[in-house]
Amino acid sequence: MTTFPLSAEDREIQERARRFVDEELIPWEEHAEADGGRIPDDERARHHDRAIELGFYAMNMPTELGGTGMTTLQQVLVSEQIGRVTNALGWCVHTPPAWAPAVVSDHQMQTWILPTIRGEQHECYAITEAGAGSDVDAIEATACRDGDEYVLNGEKMHVTSFNGATYCFFQAKIVGGPHEGEHAMFFVDKATPGVRLVREPAYTHTYPDTHAVVAFEDVRVPAANLVGQEGDGMSFTYEWFRYERLMIAARCCGAAERLIDEATSFAQQRVQFGEPIIEHQAISHMLADSLTELWAARLMTYRLAENIDAGVDVKIQHGQCSMAKLYASEMAGRVADRAVQIFGGRGYMRENVAERFWRELRVDRIWEGTSEVQRNIVADQLQKRGTRALVG
């Protein structure tokens, strides 16, 4: 039964992703939850290889670079399915930085980007600092040119996947020269002297990937590690934000679908006061609200992806990515909360899917820009461009 105009190829990709999640990832979910997000090494390696075989890994990269060159809509369809399982397992599908091919040098392409597309290397992002979260421009990390090298200093936090990464994107402000105070981004191999793991705090979700505090102390990198030009740093971050905000919206739609399915099935079976609880209107209305909001979020997310594929102005994309991320992440949070309620006491148990998503989805209102920051962006775009440009 077709309910949204997707091509036959789009449908096939969506089904391929759904089967992968249902048959190979979801069965490991409880095991991962019980073991700090980990599953046996051979199984993890198999998921990684399957994600490559099925064409999901590096799906955002052009085929001539070894990616699968999917359209934005197709990537959304895959991400949505991946969102139906915990990120502890879903992150076997990895998308290297989409902005990179257009800006990196040949040396950087060969050394870091191509191996990342092949799944041999893994990046992490070292941007946020203790004093600079939403306000990225407040970073204090520095990059000082010294002959053919830059000397990097700073302490970064929330560096996701630092434990599994081979290199970091490190964002700093230039010290000295004509670009004093401007942002710049660097490739930094994790093994470079001066890169020091400070600590790996525990977070609300149960992932094998850590979010580390990392110190960069007089780290010397060749000038060839500078991405683009001095002063370019923020533009890459904005492009990454747009991409990730859309994919977060997609994953939130997938999570909401899974939760609605699971909660509906439970509500149909669970009998209290002589009838399935779904017969109690208080329960069925929670499901009805959840489904309605999911539909709205999904249509918004798909339409945004189609707009990007159609080449809609990047400033409009910027506002629409914020709207999709804002709405879908808050929708998923509400759906998860209702799902916990429908499961009752079972919904508060670690082995329960609703409990897991209720914790996991909370960060989608924080990372890649908090809900408040998304609202600021949307309000700013509204004033600059008007209603019709943004939602017409």
Ligand X SMILES: Cc1cc2nc3c(=O)[nH]c(=O)nc-3n(C[C@H](O)[C@H](O)[C@H](O)COP(=O)(O)OP(=O)(O)OC[C@H]3O[C@@H](n4cnc5c(N)ncnc54)[C@H](O)[C@@H]3O)c2cc1C
List residues binding ligand X (CB under 6 A): 125, 127-128, 133-134, 158-160, 203, 211, 363, 366-367, 369-370, 372-373, 376
Residues 6+ apart with CB under 8 A from 167: 112, 121, 122, 123, 124, 187, 188, 189, 190
Longest Cα separation, the chain: 80
Rounded to the nearest whole angstrom, what is the least distance from the CB of residue 207 to ligand X in the complex?
8
Residue 370 CB, shortest distance to ligand X, in Å, is 3
Q: Which is nearer to ligand X, 189 or 289 (CB)?
A: 189
Separation of CA 279 from chain center: 37
Calpha distance 148→146 (Å, rounded) = 6
Nearer residue to ligand X within complex by CB, 47 or 158: 158
CB of residue 226 to ligand X, shortest distance in Å: 18
> Distance (Å, rounded) from C-alpha 215 to C-alpha 241?
24
Q: How far is the CB of 205 from ligand X (least distance, A)?
A: 7
Residue with tokens 């670690």: 350
Which residue of the chain is nearest ligand X when measured via CB?
A: 133
Q: How far apart are CA 104 and CA 165, in angstroms?
A: 19
220 exposure class (CB count in 10 Å sphere: 0-12, 13-18, 19+):
middle
φ/ψ of residue 62, rounded to 5: -65, 150
> Residue 64, class by beta-carbon neighbours within 10 Å (0-12 exposed, 13-18 middle, 19+ buried)?
exposed
Decide whether 66 or 154 has the Cβ nearer to ligand X: 154
| Complex with ligand X: residue 307 or 370, whichever CB lies closer | 370
Closer CB to ligand X, 124 or 354, in the complex: 124
CB of 146 to ligand X, least distance (A): 25
Name the minimum Å distance from CB 310 to ligand X.
29
Q: Of the two residues 61 and 127, which places its CB atom closer to ligand X in the complex?
A: 127
